[in-house]
Amino acid sequence: MMETLVEAFSIPVIRHAFIGMTIAGATLSLLGVIVVSLHLTAIRFTLMHVGLLGAAAGLALGFSPTTGAFTLVLVASVVMGTMVNQKTVAASSISGLFMTGSLAAAFLLLAGTGVPAMQVFDIFAGNILMMDRTDVVFTASVGLVLMFVFAFAYREIQLVLLKRELAQVLGVPVDAIMTGMFVLLGLGIATALRLVGALLVDAIILLPAMAALRFARNFGMALVLSSLFGLTTTIGGFLVALFFDLPVGASAAMVSTLLLGISMIVARVAAR
């Protein structure tokens, strides 16, 4: 087994993929705490559809689909965060608006430009083994930004997530924090699209946090456990794929699913 690992990690493609997955598991999973706490599961799914439109637009304009998806997801996250802060439209309505509009626009763009649909839908699959050193550095940079923001604004984020009215009374810039969290969520989803594709974003961002929140007694513990479960997901999924010659993204998603299932069972047993 050890010889297999040494041999595999001597290949740059495998090494880059493993490092990128590990960093993503430890850092992007922190965003899941925001998604679950603010009940934003629908909006994170909306951003995936926005990524589909961005991929189509990127190809139509002569860019790579991942570049188009990354850019449009970031822009959409800023707009959605601003709209939510205005409190004139419910988050669910905003989600439906962007999801339906993005999907419709993507199909119209495909029909009007003749862009190959399969190239666009490749973004839902992803390919972690296509990562190079630049991708690893980029993923690490995003991870550092996330950790810095959570460390620097720990108290403010915690207050907004737990008691928004109290945060306002204490002078916390709630609207700015909310918009910032939407931007971070968009940044995380856009980065995950580059790694494992839209259909497996939940494996890195959402499911580890859902498992962590079943055991966390405070916000700090939720972040730590989410990061640990994210690491378990990515490292475990990568090793399973390596030893059994399976797709990396699908293996990580299965490990994440099993982890959440086990956490649900353990939490139920402990509650008795």
| Helix 219-244 vs helix 154-162: crossing angle, to nearest 10 | 100
- Mean pLDDT in residue range 255-270: 90
Residue 199 pLDDT: 60
| Helix 174-195 vs helix 12-27: crossing angle, to nearest 10 | 160
Worst-scoring range by mean pLDDT, 7-16, 86-95, 146-155, 233-242? 86-95
Residue 260 pLDDT: 94
Which range has highest mean pLDDT (30-34, 99-103, 182-186)?
30-34
Residue 124 pLDDT: 66
Q: Which residue has the tokens 């990354």?
A: 70
Cα–Cα distance, 195 to 182 (Å, whole number)? 20
The larger pLDDT score, comparing residue 18 to residue 4, is at 18
Read off the pLDDT of residues 212-232 as tens digits, 9 standing for 90 and up. Answer: 999 998 999 999 999 999 999
The larger pLDDT score, comparing residue 185 to residue 132, is at 185
- Mean pLDDT in residue range 229-249: 89
Q: Is the pLDDT of residue 243 over 90?
A: no
pTM of the model: 0.88
Residue 253 pLDDT: 87
Worst-scoring range by mean pLDDT, 21-25, 99-103, 219-223? 99-103
Q: Which CATH number fits domain 2-267: 3.40.50.2000, 3.40.50.300, 3.40.50.970, 1.10.3470.10?
A: 1.10.3470.10
Kindly list the domain boundaries of the chain, sorted by start residue.
Answer: 2-267
Nearest to 174 by CA among 62, 84, 60: 84
Q: Is the pLDDT of residue 208 over 90?
A: yes
Nearest to 80 by CA among 94, 99, 61, 60: 94
Cα–Cα distance, 189 to 73 (Å, whole number)? 8
Worst-scoring range by mean pLDDT, 118-122, 156-160, 224-228? 118-122
Sequential DSSP letters for 166-203: HHHHTT--HHHHHHHHHHHHHHHHHHHHHHT-GGGHHH
Supply 15's token pair.
Answer: 């090494």
Read off the pLDDT of residues 188-206 as tens digits, 9 standing for 90 and up. Answer: 888 887 676 666 788 899 9
Q: Which residue has the tokens 């822009």?
A: 75
Residue 2 pLDDT: 67
Cα–Cα distance, 158 to 202 (Å, whole number)? 22
